[in-house]
Structure 1
Amino acid sequence: MSWNWNSHGLPFFPGYTFRDVTKSAFHRPQTLDYKNGYALPCRPTVGIGQEPLLSEQLIQQEINELTFEKPDMSYGSFNQSLQEEFIPAHVALDKKVLRFYAYFKESIVYSPDEEYRVRAVVIYYYLEDDSVCIIEPVVENSGIPQGKLIKRQHLLKNEYGDRYLWKDLNLGMELEVYGVKYRITQCDAFTKEFMESKGIVLNDPEPMPVDPYVTRRKSHQPSFTTRSELDQMHRFLTMDRKVLRFFALWDDSDSLCRETRPVTIQYFLVDDTVEIREVHQPNSGRDPFPVLVRRRKLPKKIKADSEVFPSCVLEVSKQEVDEYYSPKDFQVGETMKLLGRRFQLYDCDGFTKEYYQKNHPNLELKFIEVPKKVDKPRGKKKEVPPYNGFGSLEDSLQNCLHLLPEPPKKHVLKMLVNGNQVLRYSARLDSQNPDDEGRRFVLSYYLCDDMISIFEKPTRNSGIIAGKFLEKTRIPKPGSTVENAEFYSPADFAIGATVEVFSHRFVLTDADHFVLKYLESISSQIPHQTLDSLHQKLGVGKANNQPVDHNGDDVAERSS
């Protein structure tokens, strides 16, 4: 008799089970796979320990039977039961959430204004793992810490450890969680459709109760309307940063100097205060204290009983003043007296004109032309001393302008645009000394700061030490003065031209190709003679003349 170790159908009783001693694998097959970061379900093909599934055996058996079965009809429909696809619960019910609207009452013990408070919440039931989350929507300016009341978790229904399921939830019921009773009143459309599809009849929705404290606070409170001229808040919101500015002349003829000073009177509409500022001019000999009268309300009429009061010692209070200055008291073209000083208003700004045309159209503004003060000549003009030969012209000039010399200002934009651009020329020294006949130089013009440096190329057996002949500096043209200094520019460097550098004469013999390319880009600023000489020297069809390399050396000389 042969035993079938994997046989099915026997009762699971002692004596009816047989253990396969050859079996060594007992792990369960995987039903979930990840592809490109997404969880995908997969149907298991084998059972525990790589055993064939009973469903697979039945399907194979049905296929074998169908192969030997002859159809009764040649044509017609043939219904074949397809195998259902296995989908795990966490995939089928992913992102499917039931949403219920509820509230709970919070009792207020130590408050005379309210007995209890109604707080609305939203209950989320996740069908994927039967977890529940309760969130209270945030209400602006409520003064209560709101948000997530109960984080997502399984809620226990009783002391036996049973959990709340979606079958236990319905409208019009109370859900008790951690000692708080939540009354469910509403649900959304998806929740209603899901519950009805499962055969659960939902109760009628209930209205959300109203918080009595919120209702009492929204009720009409006794109020009164303050007139706009007395309402300081309304005046601040409408008149803040609105200032009337008048230009006036302070008649100070009673003083020892007996002069007239220009001042500016500013009237602040927000609180009817006045500020007077002096207009200081350079080299006037006065201390720079611009505020003549600080911002304050200026009294216009003082009570008769308070006129003998020593106001020079103590300030005048509101009880002693009958009237303060207002905008209608400031008329352009009139002379007014403020704090014992006479001011003649001769002009105002544009906002002040519009204000008077809109609010006081009856007041006539009479503008007065004030003659401008002409400065008297202060003797002879300063003469710049002659150049002493030390340093550049700009550096020497700073010693005459400042006690502590400052470096000359540089053209920053020009330095950024032409930072690494250099024009290089080959030159020879024009001298009567026969020893200077074979000396060759490279003249570099820096476009960033218009400076020139000269480098002497080594000559074999000349007896002259080659190297740097001139540091970077600006070279003035012959005959230029300190007042009208003229410096060499690329427009002056034509092939064959003579450049005089501090009593040394250099004749330009060649140039780099970059020189021609740059001068053609600014051809409108360069003379035609300079461009023609470069075209002749660096033209396409030249035979004997070689271009200048990066260091200014001729190719023919470098090869020799």
Structure 2
Amino acid sequence: MATLTMSTPRSARQNPTAPFLPGYVPHELRTNHAKTQMLAYGPGGSIDKPLTSAGKLLLPKLDLSVLQNLNDPFHRYDLTNRSVTHDERRDMKDSSRNTYRPALQPAWLKHDRQVLRFFGYFQEPVHENPKETFRIRTCCILFYLEDGTMMVSEPKLENSGLNQGTFVKRHRIPKPRSLGGGVYGYEDLRVGRSVSIYSRVFKLVGADEYTRQFYQAVVGERMMENEDPPMDSFRAADLPDPEDLVTARRAALQEAKAYNEIAVGGCCRNEKLQQYLENDRKVLRFHAFWDDHTKYGSRKYYTLHYYLADDTIEMLENLPRNSGCAPYPIFWRRSPLRKNPHISPTPGMLEPPPQIYKPEDLICGQTIDVLGREIVLYDCDEFTRDFYVQYMDFEQAGVKIDHPPLTHVKLQFPPYNGFGSEEDSLASCKGLMPKQPRRDEQKLLVDADKVLRFEALLADDVEENENRKFVVAIYLGDDSVGVWELKQRNSGHSEGKFASKSRKKNPATRTWFKAVDFYVGAEVSINASPFLLVGADDKALSYMEEHPDQFEVSNVSAVVGKLQSLKGWLQKQSGQISGAELQRAAQDSGLSLCAHEVLTLSRAFGRNVYVVAEAAVDASQLLGALN
């Protein structure tokens, strides 16, 4: 009867004939126990046996050219290469025999007694223990450079209850197959890496100074700094309790002790009785203020009282007349002021121990926190100064404070809504019954038919707009502005209205355009288009010269007064001076002379023209006006 054997995929991969039963463990048995030969024989005698990775013997190849040369009987007389004499051969032999350290040192000689030391740990699971689930065990990993062996040892601790000492004996430790196999070398060890040794993972967290110097010199790599191994529950139980926990525990025990004494008939101790008897009716007084940086806030002043009898603080607010605040002067009722305010969300919950303000915390020039406000102490009374001299040997000095300037927050009108004129919209904001805005009727009647016309060019640096010409008109009756484009042949633009007649705002000043904003040489922006005024008609220039108090650029006496520094230059000139030369001379002298001022001088002391390009001034007449 055939026997039935049970097999699993694991047993089938290794040995399909072995059953999956205890004691039937398949092993890869070695069948060839022959000792390999380390010598081989070739021309000249025995030599080291060179082997390849496949284990095959590689015999040295003969150089046939040397044998052919030996066939010639006259090879002894060949002097092309110098032969080594017997004395030189003997000296070379004695030199190599007397050398105790070879040129190519083997590892056991080069790295004799050189050991790399790493510090690490591994995590060991703890079963069936309600207090801990794992334990961290520290160890020391030694790597011997002379033969590439490693040893893992765990430092012994007294009464540890564990088998400590040598964890892995010294030998060459193989690497797992997942890492490519082979054995571990010093290239595989670094601080911060994990090393798997016989299915146990060790985390390297540190190394000694010699190990770091070795890697710096040989590998050229600087390893990371040492780390502390993680903390487990077993080691954490031996650490001392935090100071705040110990303090809270002592306070609870002290409270329980006092309660038990009262429960058995004892009296309640008054711990601050001596402080009360010595400091009754002794109060420190400080002057303080708080800057309220909210929208409608201001500086508020307080008087702070510190009662030495029971270390309580009281703050009174000094309200000025007509302050608009409720008449409740007590800002902080007399009670201890905590540095660490705490509000218990539920009654009966534990609170942190209170840290209250003491006299040494109240210094003039410093701040304290009261209900989230930074209160600045700036002065104190004479009794308080004497107390600090006796108590702390410290002189309280008052701090001079600057009162903030009073500012009135003015409400801003809403923006223009687009209906009617801006004056109409503004009138609806000033009252419930809008009133019609007042107009200057006298100005409308006097200047109704007066218009100032200027010739303008577009100053937007666009090549297509260089030949376009415009007329900018300012109506003095209502300060309205209009722009028209002149007809230009083959310009590609239609003539006619460019900007309709209306009041317009100056983007530079955000105010309505006035007649004084327009003069030759000025640059104005109308309908988001920059215009350079290059000329004006005779009527506009005459009107501006008739009103020199309004138009400063047309005031002849004012313009002549600016040219006092050009008197020496004018004495050297003769005849007519062009406007460009006069502007250039003024600029060299540090004067600012606009184009309209040049036109004003030209009309007063030279040609009566309308554009700057044709302006000319008589030097003798201008020099006479300067004198």
TM-score w.r.t. the length of structure 2 is: 0.24
More contact order relative to length (CA 8 Å, sep ≥ 6)? 1
- For normalisation by structure 1, the TM-score amounts to 0.26
